[in-house]
A = this chain, B = another copy of it.
């Protein structure tokens, strides 16, 4: 949870998950020790000690990490092979490259740009893509490239192709910051990196258009937001973070929407930060979040 203005030089993050087995933690920690790493933080979770799943995130400090990383990588693969675990080893000092897709709403977009500028998100932002132009000036004032990819008519394939072309090879994950276009299954495949979304309220309630109006008509006392990974099941992907705000009968549907915007930007920001820091492990339709 350390701020990214502090140095993360020579810090590596190793995440491991798969079927739980005796000796796993010992194997991983011995591996780090023999590679001259000193463990800074370790989070571990087993869904069930007998026949369950195992999840671990270890951050370790290793002088001259950059030079040693390939060797450590080899050792990790060799060590974990007999256990059949998935794993990922990253150099924490190398920020992930994050693209943002947006539409007219600016609240999630600007919050991310602003937190990034404050040094609170360990990412670079190579581009913002929008199907509208209204945020272009704001985005560029942060020194970040803005691309306009209009999305008109029923056929979105040309727009999607253009977006894939922009993203390909340039980004490590994509954030839909209130991007109001439905993406095709093939988009997800082609883009090939994790995509994080934010949606209003508590699905499956208030599906479809005008959700805040529907929530208002139902007389809810709380409104919420959920950030999740995008999968083929629209808005049903693994949840990363959720939060709510209290409302009363005296709020209009427009008030709900305004309050909801503040919940959305906070929830999405936390989800993005945790993803960027390798704190989120996907498992089936769940997430394990070592926040």
Contacts and interface: CB of A to CB of B under 8 A. Distances in A.
A61 to B, nearest CB: 5
A241 B222 CA distance: 9
A286 B44 CA distance: 23
- Chain B CB count within 10 A is highest, among A203, A205, A219, A241, for A219
Instruction: Name A's interface SS.
Output: mixed
Contacts of A248: 1, 289, 291
A204 B254 CA distance: 23
Interface stretch (A24-32, A146-154, A171-179): A24-32
Nearest to A207: B204
A255 B242 CA distance: 18
A243 interface: yes
A251 interface: yes
Interface stretch (A33-41, A67-75, A79-87, A189-197): A33-41
A244 B45 CA distance: 24
Interface string A53-71: 0010000010000000000
A238 interface: yes
A143 to B, nearest CB: 12
A258 interface: yes
Interface in A231-256: 238-244, 248-252, 254-255
Nearest to A216: B286
Given A22-B38, A26-B33, A239 B255 contact: no
A45 to B, nearest CB: 6
B254 A242 contact: no
A45 B287 contact: no
Interface in A201-244: 202-205, 217-222, 224, 238-244
Interface string A253-266: 01100100010001
A114 interface: yes
Contact of A46 (B40, B118, B262): B40
Interface in A160-203: 202-203
A120 interface: yes
A77 interface: no
Interface stretch (A2-10, A88-96, A122-130): A2-10
A159 interface: no
Given A3-B258, A39-B44, 7 more contacts: A1-B252, A3-B252, A23-B38, A218-B285, A219-B238, A219-B286, A220-B242
5 contacts: A2-B255, A29-B29, A41-B46, A221-B241, A222-B242
Question: 4 closest Cβ contacts across the A-B interface?
Answer: A219-B286, A26-B29, A42-B44, A26-B33
